[in-house]
């Protein structure tokens, strides 16, 4: 039996339902959702579960939905007047405790979102995200190394790029992170959302998209490694990072890449 045939409960016996799903009511305005996302994006989960009635989950919202919509409507009215239910993704994946890792990845490939929820013993829901899968990667046995992972385009931007150009690239290339050209510094949807809320007061009295990155944005630094480590070592490293993002020579690796690599038949589980 390969690792993808095992159930999540088998692969995560101690932490299967230990990560709480963070929820938001469907009628809440987007400024509330944005403030909540600042504290949760890429930490232990990267999306909010949208609920109605008696905390019934009906959708999901994350950085993707925020940046897509501020690109269309970069005004304070988006945050003050738009309800969460108006822009949420209705394709929320609710898993059973018997789902296999392979079945999970199949669902994630369809939604292009490494996030799902699972009922827990407390009457609520727990989150299964890309970060949670890093726990599985850290406990696998394999000779598969970074250099063997599929290479993908490294999307870069310039120091004098406008925020509109940066978000446009994120949407065009379907990525949440862009690397500053010739550096290992990056900007993410989380950083953009954080600046909107904390520095620009949800677009009140400022033309946000026209601003250049160099004006006031703080970037984050990707971890640069030079050793061709195996998948388990890489997973352990990324699991300890607040915002897991690794550069190896001309490759960038995210938790999504770890998920896809775990489909290899060269992987066993401790």
Asked if residue 172 and residue 66 are part of one domain, the reply reads: no
- Please state, in angstroms and rounded to a whole number, the distance separating the CA atoms of residues 252 and 153: 9
- Please state, in angstroms and rounded to a whole number, the distance separating the CA atoms of residues 183 and 178: 11
Asked if residue 117 and residue 147 are part of one domain, the reply reads: no
Give residue 267's pLDDT.
Answer: 93
Containing domain of residue 86, as a range?
Answer: 3-130
Asked if residue 172 and residue 109 are part of one domain, the reply reads: no
- Number of H helices and number of E strands within the chain? 12, 14
Percent of the chain with pLDDT over 70: 96
Asked if residue 43 and residue 161 are part of one domain, the reply reads: no
pTM: 0.89
Confidence band, pLDDT 50/70/90 cuts, at residue 251: very high
pLDDT tens-digit map of 3-34: 999 999 999 988 888 888 999 999 999 999 99
Asked if residue 146 and residue 126 are part of one domain, the reply reads: no
Q: Which of 104, 130, 156 is the C-terminal boundary of a domain?
A: 130
137 part of a folded domain:
no
Please name which of 149, 152, 197 lies closest in space to residue 179, comparing C-alpha atoms. 152
**Confidence check: pLDDT of 44 > 70:** no
pLDDT tens-digit map of 175-213: 989 999 999 999 998 889 888 888 888 888 778 888 888
Asked if residue 126 and residue 20 are part of one domain, the reply reads: yes
Q: Which helix (H) or strand (E) holds 221?
A: strand 220-221
Asked if residue 164 and residue 125 are part of one domain, the reply reads: no
Asked if residue 125 and residue 14 are part of one domain, the reply reads: yes
**Confidence check: pLDDT of 46 > 80:** no
71 part of a folded domain:
yes
CATH number at residue 81: 3.10.580.10
**Confidence check: pLDDT of 142 > 60:** yes
Q: In terms of pLDDT, which residue wins out, 203 or 84?
A: 84
Please name which of 99, 83, 74, 95 lies closest in space to residue 50, comparing C-alpha atoms. 83
Give residue 104's pLDDT.
Answer: 96
**Helix, strand, coil abundance in the chain, percent, nearest 5:** 40, 25, 35
- Please state, in angstroms and rounded to a whole number, the distance separating the CA atoms of residues 156 and 186: 9
Q: Which of 130, 157, 191 is the C-terminal boundary of a domain?
A: 130
- Please state, in angstroms and rounded to a whole number, the distance separating the CA atoms of residues 181 and 202: 28
The count of domains in the chain is 2
- Please state, in angstroms and rounded to a whole number, the distance separating the CA atoms of residues 128 and 185: 28
Asked if residue 148 and residue 107 are part of one domain, the reply reads: no
Give residue 216's pLDDT.
Answer: 65
Asked if residue 165 and residue 259 are part of one domain, the reply reads: yes
80 part of a folded domain:
yes
Compute the average pLDDT of residues 99-118.
94
Query: What b/e readout covers 29-39, taking b as 16+ CB neighbours within 10 angstroms?
Result: ebbebbebbbe
Give residue 136's pLDDT.
Answer: 95
User: Contact at 8 Å (CB) between 124 and 21?
Assistant: yes
Compute the average pLDDT of residues 227-245.
93
Q: In terms of pLDDT, which residue wins out, 20 or 232?
A: 232
Percent of the chain with pLDDT over 90: 68
Asked if residue 157 and residue 104 are part of one domain, the reply reads: no
136 part of a folded domain:
no
Compute the average pLDDT of residues 139-155.
93
User: Contact at 8 Å (CB) between 259 and 234?
Assistant: no
Q: Which of 130, 151, 171 is the C-terminal boundary of a domain?
A: 130
Asked if residue 174 and residue 125 are part of one domain, the reply reads: no
Q: List alpha helices for the chain, DSSP H.
A: 8-11, 30-40, 63-72, 76-81, 84-87, 101-111, 130-138, 163-173, 189-198, 213-216, 231-239, 255-261
**Confidence check: pLDDT of 268 > 80:** yes
Confidence band, pLDDT 50/70/90 cuts, at residue 41: low
Residue 118: Cβ-neighbour burial (10 angstroms; 0-12, 13-18, 19+) = buried
135 part of a folded domain:
no
């Amino acid at each position: 039996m390969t690792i993808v045939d095992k159930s999540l409960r088998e692969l995560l016996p101690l932490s299967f339902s230990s990560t709480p799903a963070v929820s938001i009511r469907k009628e809440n305005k987007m400024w509330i959702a944005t403030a909540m996302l600042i504290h949760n994006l890429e930490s232990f989960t990267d999306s909010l579960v949208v609920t109605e009635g008696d905390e019934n989950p009906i959708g999901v919202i994350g950085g993707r939905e925020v940046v897509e919509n501020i690109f269309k409507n970069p005004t304070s009215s988006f945050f003050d007047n738009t309800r969460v239910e108006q822009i949420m993704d209705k394709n929320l994946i609710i898993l059973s405790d018997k789902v296999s890792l392979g079945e999970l990845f199949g669902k994630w490939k369809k939604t292009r979102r490494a996030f799902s929820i699972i009922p827990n013993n407390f009457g609520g829901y727990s989150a299964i995200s890309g970060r949670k899968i890093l726990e599985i990667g850290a406990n696998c046995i394999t000779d598969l190394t970074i250099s063997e992972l599929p290479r993908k385009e490294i999307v870069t931007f310039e120091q004098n790029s406008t925020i509109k150009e940066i978000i446009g690239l994120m949407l065009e290339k379907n990525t949440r992170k862009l690397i500053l050209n010739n550096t290992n510094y990056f900007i993410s949807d989380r950083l953009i959302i954080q600046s909107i809320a904390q520095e620009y007061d949800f677009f009140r009295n400022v033309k946000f998209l026209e601003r250049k990155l160099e004006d006031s944005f703080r970037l984050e630094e990707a971890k640069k490694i030079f050793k061709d480590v195996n998948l388990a070592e890489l997973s352990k490293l990324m699991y300890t990072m607040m915002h897991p993002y690794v550069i190896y020579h001309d490759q960038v690796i995210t938790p999504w890449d770890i998920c896809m690599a775990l489909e290899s038949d060269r992987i066993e589980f401790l």
